[in-house]
Chain A
Amino acid sequence: MVAEKLVGQPLKRKEDPRLITGAGNFLDDIKLTGMTHAYVVRSPFGHARITSIDTSRARAMPGVVGVFTGEDLAAVNPLPCAWPAAGGENNMNTPRVLALGEVHQVGDPVAVVVAETRYQAKDAAELVDISYEELGTVVDAYKATLDGAPQLHENAPNNVAVRWTCGKDADEVSAALAASDVRISQHIVNQRLIPTSMEPRGSIGRYDEGTGDYTLWATSQAPHVHRLLITAFILGIPEQKLRVISPDIGGGFGQKIFCYFDMPLVLWLSKAVGRPVKFFEDRSENYLSAAHGRDHITDVEIGASRDGKITALKVDTYANLGAYLSTVAPGIPTTLYGRMVAGCYKIPAIHVNVTGVYTNTAMVDAYRGAGRPEATFLIERVCDLVAQETGVDPAEVRRRNFIQPADFPYDTGIGMLPYDSGDYEKALDKALWNSSYADLRAEQARRRAKGNRKLLGIGLSSYVEVCGIAPSKYMGAQGWGAGLWESANVRIHLTGKVVVTTGSLPHGQGHETSFAQLVGDELGVPFDDIEVEWGDTLGTPFGFGTYGSRSLTVGGTAIYKSTAKIREKARLLAAHMLEANPEDVIWQDGKFQVKGSPESSKTMQEVALAAHVAYDLPEGMEPTLEATTFYDPPNCTFPFGTHICVVEVDADTGEIDLLRYVAVDDVGNVVNPLIVDGQVHGGIAQGLAQALFEGAVYSDNGELMTGTMNDYAIPKASQLPVYELDRTVTPSPVNPMGVKGAGEAGTIASTPCVANAVIDALAHLGVRHIDMPITPEKVWRATSAR
């Protein structure tokens, strides 16, 4: 019997029973013998000089083991920034583990109390007496660059952290704009978001006095990278003296890629107090001080022809990077945003200017989509602006500007790697068909003619994004401070059971399931016999972790290549066992068979047993079946698609109802459709929440006004539509499985899709643009011209 292929099946996730019945092992579940608890005293001011710190009252509190300040950690290096923007100006300032002298944002860590319990630590923290001399604050990226604005760092005049450009010369693009028949300019804000994973962040440090070894448990999307950064850059201890473990992670969305102060802090504290130390932030602390996302202010100038062809694009963006540079912050608004603004379109003249700016706010870094949501929002708004200005239907504007299937690999000319493959029109047409687009437009016209108070809006978004962030050579040239390949070790035990160790790091994506499907097919081993492991630097090859939808495309390919190596070795052994010529032995129907005589065969399990007992191996063959691969792909992958959203806007109140949401995504070949659908669902929810609900708001003095979920509107199930999902399949030529990555697509597509829909509902009233989140009040103001 031929085993059914696992790849392509909508298998339920292996990890779910464990995770959803409370049997997971998350950071805050971990309790070590003798463990103490750290509570951090944070700055209440956006910008201030610390004039004195008195810890004596706190020290006298019950259960307190120690109280430490920035002075105590003065010898510890600041955190590193690993991705300066190549070819640009970088005025680097990174945070210290505990502030020394000055604080630059509300929530900056100033002192830490270590106590027997978390309650005691917090009680004592309230008694650390700190005096501050307040300094001027600025929270808006553009205002921060103006003369006279409060200055955050000495080496960054006008608070400019990064200056960077890409594309053609600015003058050349200005000339192309001047020569265009249609010219449009628009000010567009892509507001700041707070990632909000279900589990906040934390870490536990343990120092072993006997061996001098440190162990760090951390909510980390990239444990090997954190080991490197903490040892080589922050604490200056040998890399082999630190073991980093990521337990189960309750979501990350990018926020857990970065190196945070608490990671080196708990290690340092553990050595100082001689006991393990746990730090686990509460939600308010997470909102205040873990990295935020987006926050761009952009002026875009557009040139187009009267028939809707985009001829020139000039983009000037102020990217708010917060009080300091987070681990990869400069790379996001440059490589991952600036180089993606062309979207799915052939645009002959593009110039992008990016200014990264320090402000008295939380650091901003990669957040689900990282740069591509900002780029896609921009270009998809541009398409609708062109449609509105020229009278060409928005779907048609997209169609007329698309890169064509024959154009691949396609170089947009702005320094991105060539797009690998695509058929943008196919996805658009499928989405138009699935949504009955023509009928929707007819219904919209009817309602408008009747003066219906329920305004119908139809929004489109055709997106392309870059996934499988790699290859090392390209990323190195972009300023990334390390390689970006991935590792995989696959071993088959004597009993035929398989363990896969990946350098990627699942934190909600379902690696245990997808990778087992992949390996099951390649090795002919049942799904349930395959265990996927990750997250511990001890005895595992270096890995870069999970972000940028790279786990399957890069990490999965490393696994695939390891299985191929194992299969080849096993084939040779099978031939030996079958007393056949190796050339005559083939892998067929999940077994090794002698060509032409299928009754003469060996299963992978039989071969594994022989390889392990090693009684009789071919001359020179080593025992066991195991292979490690370090895979650096030749290119990124470029998923794409078209989403269409239908909204109804209440003309009396400005309330927005999501009537329909149609998505057609092309993520290449699909390993597990159920998991891909789940990723798309979550992504759409997160992206449409930016369009309608979410937005971090700071007061002028740097106080986070949306510091709790009472104010910051993450979407609830009751606020979301039913998703109508579909796919086209354009395999990627970049990797052997033909996969493109699906982790961020939904988020990238949905924000402009929903915003376009709401603005489309109001277009006949003369509305061209509304900044996000598009709240009912903003709709009301836009339509009543208040």
Chain B
Amino acid sequence: MFPSQFGYHKPGSVAEAVKLLQADPDAKIVAGGHSLIPAMKLRLAAPSALVDLSGIESLRGISVNGNVSIGAMTTYAQIRDSAKLKAALPVLADVAYNVGDPQVQSCGTLGGSLAHNDPAADFTAVLVALGASVKAVGPKGERTIPVEDLLVDLLTTSLAEDEVLTEIIIPGGTSAAAYEKFRHPASGYAVVGVAAAVKTGKGGVVDDAKIAITGCTSKATRAHAAEQAFIGKPLSAESIAAASAVAANGLDLNGDHYASADYRGHLVGVQTRRALERLA
């Protein structure tokens, strides 16, 4: 496993990182390196230089005040172990604990996961379900992008080559959220992952809900049909059954030699039911 030759930069600020990216269009950001470095070793990626964000302190950290804000360079391990997050939005720690293995959790970053947009990533679906958005800084300044708009297609985002994803913001108001993951026996990635988040009002009626699917679509995708099946009703055995029955409807499911599209569709239904049962 021997990558092609590449240069290396370690900027101290986001502005400096943006400058480096502007100066060399073939350079790439490296965060935890757990997606990019393997690709370089297989020579599927051959950037001219790496711009390492690990020296930029402002990109790390977790704050909770109504909204939850997480710096792009925050690792899964930091999310997994954060007492603040466990109190505010326990689903995040739960998901972080289920990403890869402890080594991956120690290195992989939330920003890297979103910027990479692996079709089987866990947090992409979870953040879609939570209605999160990200901040990105480029030559023209800062902008805010809803995660749903950030994720364009397989391994493709709406970030420009010279933009740095700096922060993830999760709005408050979620009553409960859960993530159900069916792991691939080799990679540990999701064969199917279902994230569900609800806002419930009086009498347990669901005022709003988002369900997002990962692992079997080209990017994390909303299961609108399932959402509509129980919004406006309380979560009950009937509404959950109705939602899981239609969860795979309208999704463009992919299959491979390990799991066919049919089977993944079946799993979407089962896992949607299980996720919603945990919220009920």
- A pairs with B: yes
* A interface residues, Cβ below 8 angstroms from B: 118-119, 122-123, 126, 282-284, 652-653, 655, 692-693, 697, 705-706, 708-714, 716, 719, 775-777, 780-781, 786
B23 close to A (CB within 8 Å): no
> B262 at interface (Cβ–Cβ under 8 A)?
yes
Given contacts A653-B266, A711-B186, 6 further A-B contacts (CB under 8 A): A119-B5, A122-B2, A705-B257, A708-B42, A713-B184, A777-B260
Minimal beta-carbon separation of A229 from chain B (angstroms): 30
- Contact surface of B with A, Cβ cutoff 8 Å: 1-2, 4-5, 42-43, 101, 182, 184-187, 257-260, 262-263, 266-267, 270
Are A786 and B262 interface neighbours, CB within 8 A?
Answer: yes
Which chain B residue shows the least CB distance to A778? Answer: B263
A-B contact pairs, 10 of them (CB 8 A): A119-B5, A122-B2, A652-B270, A653-B270, A693-B185, A706-B257, A710-B187, A775-B185, A777-B258, A777-B260
Asked whether, in the complex, the Cβ of A123 is within 8 Å of the Cβ of B4, the reply is: yes
Q: Which chain B residue shows the least CB distance to A699? A: B257
Closest to B42 in A: A284
Given contacts A653-B270, A711-B187, contact A775 B258 (CB under 8 A): yes
The 10 closest A-B pairs by CB, nearest first: A713-B186, A713-B185, A777-B263, A710-B187, A693-B185, A282-B1, A122-B2, A697-B257, A652-B270, A119-B2
Q: In whole angstroms, what is the CA distance A526 to B13 when docked?
A: 64
Closest to A689 in B: B185
Kindly state the separation between the CA atoms of A775 and B258 in the bound complex, as whole angstroms. 8
Taking a contact as CB atoms under 8 Å apart, the answer to whether A775 and B259 are in contact is yes
Q: Are A118 and B42 in contact (CB under 8 A)?
A: no
Residues of chain A lying within 8 A (CB to CB) of residue B257: 697, 705-706
Secondary structure type dominating chain A contacts: loop
Give the distance in Å from the alpha carbon of A282 to the alpha carbon of B267 in the complex.
36
- Complex CA distance for A710 and B258, rounded to whole angstroms: 12
| B270 vs chain A, min Cβ distance (A) | 5
Q: Across the interface, which residues of B come within 8 angstroms of A711, CB to CB?
A: 186-187, 258
Main secondary structure of the interface of B (DSSP, over half): loop
> B262 to chain A: which residues have CB within 8 Å?
786
CB distance from A112 to the nearest CB of B (A): 15
Give the Cβ gap from B247 to chain A, nearest Cβ, in Å: 14
Is B186 a contact partner of A709 (Cβ separation < 8 A)?
A: yes
Whether B266 contacts A118 by the Cβ 8 Å rule is no
Determine the chain B residues whose CB is within 8 A of the CB of A705 once the complex forms. 257
For the complex, what is the distance from the CA of A697 to the CA of B258, rounded to whole Å? 10
Cβ-defined partner of B259 (8 Å) among A693, A712, A716, A777: A777
B130 to chain A, nearest CB (A): 25
Cα A119 to Cα B262 with chains together (Å): 44
Q: Which residue of B is nearest A711, CB measured?
A: B186
- Kindly provide the distance from the CB of B95 to the nearest chain A CB, expressed in whole angstroms: 17
Task: Check if B187 sits within 8 Å of A118, measured CB to CB.
Answer: no
Contacts of B5 in A (CB 8 A): 119, 123
Give Cα distance in the complex from A705 to B255, angstroms. Answer: 14
Give the contacting residue for B186; candidates A119, A122, A653, A712; CB below 8 A: A712
Point out the residue from B1, B186, B266 that lies within 8 Å of A710, measured CB to CB: B186
Please give, as numbers and ranges, the residues of chain A lying within 8 Å of B260 by CB-CB distance.
777
Chain B residue at smallest Cβ distance from A775: B258
A776 contacts across to B, CB distance below 8 A: 182, 259, 263
| Shortest Cβ distance from A780 into B: residue | B263
Q: Which residues of B contact A282 (CB under 8 A)?
A: 1-2
B contact residues around A126 at 8 Å (CB): 43
Q: How far is the CA of A18 from the CA of B159 in the complex (A)?
A: 49
Q: Which residues of B contact A786 (CB under 8 A)?
A: 262
Bound Cα distance from A407 to B196, whole angstroms: 64
Chain A residue numbers with a CB within 8 Å of B186 are 693, 706, 709-714
Within the complex, the shortest CB–CB distance from B157 to chain A, in Å, comes to 22
Nearest CB in chain A: distance from B177 CB, A:
21
> Which of chain B's residues has its CB closest to A707's CB?
B42
CB proximity of A289 to chain B, nearest CB, Å: 16
